[in-house]
Structure 1
Amino acid sequence: MAIAPDYVDSLLAQYAGPDANAAYLMCDRHDPATVAFTLVDDDLSSREMTFGELHDRSARLATTLHERGIGVGDRVGVLLTKRAELPVTLLALARVGAVYIPLFTAFAHGAVEMRMQAAGAKLVVTEPGQVEKLAGLPDIQKLVAGPDFAAAEAAEPLETSASLGPDAPFLQLYTSGTTGSPKGVPVPIRAMAAFHAYHEVSLDQRADDVFWNNADPGWAYGLYYGIVGPLIRGLKNILHHMHFTPESTFAVMEKFQVTNFASAPTVYRALSKSGLPTTARLRVASSAGEPLTADVTEWSQRVLGSEVRDHYGQTETGMLICTHWNPVAETQVKPMSMGTPLPGIEGTIRDGVISFAADSPMLWFMGYADDPAKTATRYTADGQWYLTGDLGRTDEDGYFYYISRDDDIILMAGYRIGPFDVESVIINHPAVADVAVVGRPDPSGVRGELAEAFVVLAPGVAGSDALATELKLLVKENYSAHAYPRCVHFVDQLPKTESGKVQRGVLRKLEL
């Protein structure tokens, strides 16, 4: 078997037509009786949400959005946990042609404010436990799950939905910045073709699977492939409201008999190191976010009945290279290899950098919002190749292997942390004269990397454990609880190049 020659063309015909309609593609074309999500609560009680319910609730919410002046191209922040209101909001925004901006619920006020101001957002949809993070955003409307939603969903359903064409954005995500503020990535409707291919070819999600992508929808992997991907294919995903623990993850796998699981390597590492017994058995296990280690794959094969296959992608592109699960892809499983490109993606190595042909039909990156200069850095001078910034190699069969990042993103517990975000908080402390944040290997082997801060103090200030704790708390409260530096090192100066750039590679290699 092999992928049909017209496979990519057939997907583009579905998702990249001149009248492409995001609400129709994600919901309205499916049987209303089909289950879209299994909603699982903290106590493992559950209920199923059908496409019919999604259609009705989102159409009613769309009426309220329209009445509030939300329309085509308007940016709307969504600060919600994994609850029913999240996909309802996504579809309601699609109906009026607005753009959904995910906000990670572990963000502090500053991270939320930066993204909403950068996007020019007109509205934030949130829930009672997150409302306080919106203080100081007086010019942005708020819609809160609970009474606000009950009133909104009592409205008459909006009868129409926006048909905006393939290049109209329906999502906008923000990267983790290394040399400046995070950059906005508009995601066009035609990206759904690539999302569909990844779910079908790489994840091999089937109608009889119990599929669970447990990544947080505040980030690309959880939103693209835990929310949008299953919706466009008309297949269900589990939405588990509780935060990750090994105990809760095994409990969900066992109770709901999960067969197809997708997550970050840190989740698999935490499960493997927990020592907990489990009766869970998987047909398919997939990982994305950072390179896999051999011990994780060995453990998963032995305990869960399936190896874990590595998949590679970026916020700007979605998944690009995978050890595909669907047998039609005829993929070999090679140790430490990420696999081969997704159908419709042409990849190569240019000067050591993993690169992709800019005219690949499944490559949908349109550039960073309002930042043509930054966009230009992602391409070769002739515009023919998209540059990932990651180093890699290929073998004689065309299989790709990851070597290292060519930037300074910190990959901790599956999350991408931009040093600039953390540094911009710490540098505001009056005791700090200079600071650099880098990722260093987690000694426990669970989180991949940990953020560590190297701090140069102001004259006359002495370093102390109390000050280190104060700086950690500052990041927790002003950026995000997941991104604070686990270690703070007080140093006399930072290693820098002649042009004044911090040599982060030197810091990562320091013996301390």
Structure 2
Amino acid sequence: MTDHRPAAKIAEAAPAPWTNHADIVAEVDDLRRRFSAPELSLAEVLCDAHPAADTAFICVDESFEPYRLSYGELADRSRRLASLLRDRGIGRGSRVGVLMAKTRQLPVVLVALWRLGAVEVPLFTAFAGPAIATRVNGAGAGLIVADESQQPKLTGIDVPVLGTGPGLDLEIDAQEPIEVAEAVGGDGLFLQLYTSGTTGTPKAVGVSGSALAAFVAYMRYGLGVTDDDVFWNAADPGWAYGLYYGIVGPLAIGRPNVLFAGNFTAESTARLLDALQVTNLAAAPTVYRALKKSGVMPQRPLRAASSAGEPLTADVVDWAPEALGVVVRDHWGQTEQGMAIGNAWDERLRTEVAPRSMGQALPGFVVGTVDESIALSVDESPLMWFSGYVDAPEQTRERFTPDGDWYLTGDVGRADGADFFFASRDDDVILAAGYRIAPFDIESILVADAAVIEAAVVGRPDEIRGEVIEAFVVIDEAAEERAGRVAEEGAAGEGAAGEDLQSRLQAAVRSMYGAHAYPRRVHVVAELPKTPSGKVQRFVLRDMEV
């Protein structure tokens, strides 16, 4: 196939400070060799290699009573569960959807899958049924492990379900533990996540064993987790940041993470920070903004605080030193690569944070720009693990320059010396409370309404969530009137009729996609702004006075 893309103007790569430290360069090389080995077993390196008495996770439920899950218990119960899963036909390469809250059963389920060489397909618990179906059907999942409260969403999905909770504990107790720990090697997959842009269906990202090297590097250099830290990554493991660095990364370095199964509030967050004496916190800006707005502050200062998922705003930067006792350091990454840029906490790399900077190239990565896109050097990034989407060669090809030398992140930004500064997303993905939401997914639901002719959604600034979704729709007034939802005098406006339409569309998004992604406001417009070729100009909508 002829490549019609114009030749990219590749800027010189920005300086990567870690390459000036011979000890870090050697450490990175050792990580790369260790986790690319063909005999790599995920269960061994993430669980069995650690002292049995050490704590794997600090699990906290809604009663705020912490339970310390040891590596010995994690090993025993995951071996028993692996026996049960094997009897259900799960083995090497099997895809298994996991729709679970952050309970102590979650790591048991994941390590059991990895013992068998199976691949987890994480499912965010706020997803509605159709979003879940897209992912498990796309992956060809042979099983879904789901909490009881989540199982009603699985109606109509033709995949066997294994329920969690007390019943699963009894089943685990009845099994004989297996000793097998399948070696998938550095090239073998153990996770399959889904991401999407503005068009098309979600893309599958297969995560191989070699990615552990990059995850460990970020835990140690980016987050600066030490053996003395009480670490809490508050992100949800249904998404990359919470899964990579709240489950896999902590297991890889043998340092426990806090798993809180309760609902997020500013008050619950501050309570846990104090009760567990957390010293190192990683969270989306939403968490910090909620703490700031509530006025609730932990009693003990943090040693380190990091932010990811969307750019930090100046109000959080200014608030944090007095409220938390430390600067919140911004970091940048993607599902496809993990974290590649950040204001590192490792003392050898730590520098004063430049205003609005998302940081510098983290160990294992060399970063530059291609035209205006932030890009990663393929040849000079020893810990780069993403080579393409699963079974999607065309979408993969679009992510790399024609010569294959650079991976194009799709995020627009610039470099000033070693520091990178985020500008925008070239695919218009919305970042709401740290979650990446593709406009295409929401727009597809809106236009399914009989009265909606066209729809476009954008992210608008919000003090707490960073961005919230707002929708702009062109409606068929006759269809709306026939449905009895629009009075004659309000058919063209946003009065009572607009509110009826808004509530109906909001409910559709909640039920078809998820409660985190519904449009907070719906605006009826005569037409959508478009380019001469017919593409919607979402930047015009974002700037529109409404």
Identity in percent: 52
In 1, are the aligned partners of 2:368 and 2:376 still within 8 Å (CA)? Answer: yes
In 2, are the aligned partners of 1:15 and 1:25 still within 8 Å (CA)? Answer: no
Matched, 1:88 2:81: no
Q: Which residue of 1 aligns with 2:518?
A: 484
SS at match of 1:222: helix
CA distance, structure 2, for counterparts of residue 278 and residue 102 of structure 1: 31
Q: Which residue of 2 aligns with 1:381?
A: 402
- 1:449-460 residue pairs with structure 2 within 5 A? 449-460=467-478
Matched, 1:504 2:524: no
- 1:464-479 residue pairs with structure 2 within 5 A? 464-479=498-513
What code does the residue aligned with 2:409 have?
Answer: T
In 1, are the aligned partners of 2:473 and 2:525 still within 8 Å (CA)? Answer: yes
> Relative to structure 2, which stretch is displaced further, 496-505 or 363-372?
496-505
- 1:360-375 residue pairs with structure 2 within 5 A? 360-375=381-396
In 1, are the aligned partners of 2:91 and 2:117 still within 8 Å (CA)? Answer: yes
Q: Which has the larger radius of gyration?
A: 2
CA distance, structure 2, for counterparts of residue 487 and residue 176 of structure 1: 23
Q: Which residue of 1 aligns with 2:195?
A: 175
Q: CA deviation at 1:149?
A: 4.0
Q: Which residue of 1 aligns with 2:132?
A: 112
What code does the residue aligned with 1:374 have?
Answer: Q
Q: CA deviation at 1:275?
A: 1.6
CA distance, structure 2, for counterparts of residue 254 and residue 316 of structure 1: 34
CA distance, structure 2, for counterparts of residue 139 and residue 199 of structure 1: 35
SS at match of 1:5: helix
TM-score relative to the length of structure 2: 0.91
What code does the residue aligned with 1:384 have?
Answer: D
Q: CA deviation at 1:14?
A: 2.1
- 1:153-164 residue pairs with structure 2 within 5 A? 153-164=173-184
What code does the residue aligned with 1:454 have?
Answer: F
Q: Which residue of 1 aligns with 2:7?
A: none
CA distance, structure 2, for counterparts of residue 149 and residue 423 of structure 1: 41
Matched, 1:27 2:47: yes
CA distance, structure 2, for counterparts of residue 150 and residue 208 of structure 1: 36
CA distance, structure 2, for counterparts of residue 148 and residue 346 of structure 1: 45
What code does the residue aligned with 2:450 have?
Answer: P
CA distance, structure 1, for counterparts of residue 425 and residue 292 of structure 2: 26
In 1, are the aligned partners of 2:24 and 2:363 still within 8 Å (CA)? Answer: no
Residue from 292, 304, 309 that aligns with 1:289: 309
Q: Which residue of 2 aligns with 1:7?
A: 27
Q: Which residue of 2 aligns with 1:128?
A: 148
> Relative to structure 2, which stretch is displaced further, 137-146 or 488-497?
137-146
Alpha-carbon distance change, 65 to 277 in structure 1, aligned in 2, over 3 angstroms: closer
CA distance, structure 2, for counterparts of residue 139 and residue 354 of structure 1: 39
- 1:406-421 residue pairs with structure 2 within 5 A? 406-421=426-441
What code does the residue aligned with 1:186 have?
Answer: G
Q: Which residue of 1 aligns with 2:483?
A: none
Q: CA deviation at 1:273?
A: 1.0
Deviations 1:471-503 (A, max 9, x none): 101111111000000010111211222222211
In 1, are the aligned partners of 2:340 and 2:365 still within 8 Å (CA)? Answer: yes
CA distance, structure 1, for counterparts of residue 308 and residue 63 of structure 2: 28
CA distance, structure 1, for counterparts of residue 452 and residue 356 of structure 2: 41
- 1:16-55 residue pairs with structure 2 within 5 A? 16-55=36-75
- 1:61-100 residue pairs with structure 2 within 5 A? 61-100=81-120
CA distance, structure 2, for counterparts of residue 333 and residue 46 of structure 1: 35
- 1:196-235 residue pairs with structure 2 within 5 A? 196-235=216-255
SS at match of 2:453: strand
Listed as ranges, the gaps of 5+ residues in structure 1 are none
- 1:135-284 residue pairs with structure 2 within 5 A? 135-284=155-304
Residue from 372, 381, 392 that aligns with 2:413: 392
What code does the residue aligned with 1:457 have?
Answer: I
Q: CA deviation at 1:424?
A: 1.5
- 1:344-355 residue pairs with structure 2 within 5 A? 344-355=364-375
SS at match of 1:468: helix
Number of residues of Structure 1 aligned to a counterpart in Structure 2: 509
In 2, are the aligned partners of 1:77 and 1:100 still within 8 Å (CA)? Answer: yes
In 2, are the aligned partners of 1:310 and 1:322 still within 8 Å (CA)? Answer: yes
Q: CA deviation at 1:459?
A: 4.3
Q: CA deviation at 1:466?
A: 1.1
Q: CA deviation at 1:276?
A: 2.3
Alpha-carbon distance change, 227 to 277 in structure 1, aligned in 2, over 3 angstroms: closer
CA distance, structure 1, for counterparts of residue 265 and residue 196 of structure 2: 25
- 1:319-358 residue pairs with structure 2 within 5 A? 319-358=339-378
